[in-house]
Amino acid sequence: MKANYEITYSLDIQGEACPMPAIATLEALPQLKKGEVLEVLCDCPQAINSIPVDAKNRGFEVLSIEQDGPTLRFIIRKP
């Protein structure tokens, strides 16, 4: 299945302990312009819950959450 979005920015915070990935994501989100897409890569297990909830609470769309071994990949768009 072809993704219907293009990644504008990528944030690779693998190796950072919680809550750093969530904090870094929250700092990056306000910089997105309408329609832009942020890819977040991290390997913090709690991020599977915190990052999507934080993004949705701030009005962003979580387009995708993927897990590959310990690595989590979030795709978040500013509507």
Q: Which residues are tagged catalytic?
A: 18
CA distance to 2, 30, 33, 34, per residue, from 42 (Å): 23, 19, 23, 24
DSSP state for residue 30 in the 8-state scheme: G
Distance of alpha carbon 4 from the chain centroid: 16
